Amino acid sequence: MNKKGFLLAEETLKIVIAVICILFLAGFLISIYLKNKTDNDLELAKASLEYLIEEINAKHSPVEIYNPKGWVISSWPYGAQKKLPKSCENLGWKSCICISKDVGLGKQVISLLPFTQSNLDYFIDNSDNNGFCLENSGNLIVNKGPSIQGPIVISSPFTLNIDYANNKITK
């Protein structure tokens, strides 16, 4: 048996195992970073929504929101439909304002078109799974257009105009 060939195969195996371990560790570190970033964005979202509710309760307008960029603000229930995110429904709220991560659909429906049923269900699920909601005791409606209810995508910083006479929040 040739010892040189045997040693070459042994060294190659060690290198392959080392590369696999390095790739595994890199993937693990990236997943930790992304999880931490998501947690930080959720904390920023909670703080932004709490600030918005405080300003609404104090009857201030306009209100500046700074973060998290790329998330959406929406109000529930939507239109004539009485659907609410489960997080709002379980607490017995009749109306709520949610801030949730925009996982792609918010930018697509940001035009002045109303929600379709599938978009509506998607945003309700997204508010529960990737967001945070608070009670909307003033029954304010988030409008993405002049008279169309829908989510507003946060672009940092931006101003929300609150019309208390007509119960509307617009960008």
The 10s digit of each residue's pLDDT in 90-118 is: 888 888 988 888 766 544 444 444 556 56
Helices marked H in the chain — which ranges?
3-57, 86-89, 105-108, 117-129
The domain total for the chain is 1
Looking at residues 122-148, what average pLDDT do you find? 79
Out of 4-18, 46-60, 109-123, pick the least confident: 109-123
Higher local confidence (pLDDT), 167 or 7:
167
Looking at residues 37-65, what average pLDDT do you find? 84
**pTM attached to this predicted model:** 0.69
135 forms bridges with which residues in the sheet? 96
Q: What percent of the chain has pLDDT over 70?
A: 83
Q: What's the pLDDT score for residue 60? A: 82
Rounded mean pLDDT of the chain?
79
- Parent domain of 45: 5-170
Looking at residues 41-56, what average pLDDT do you find? 86
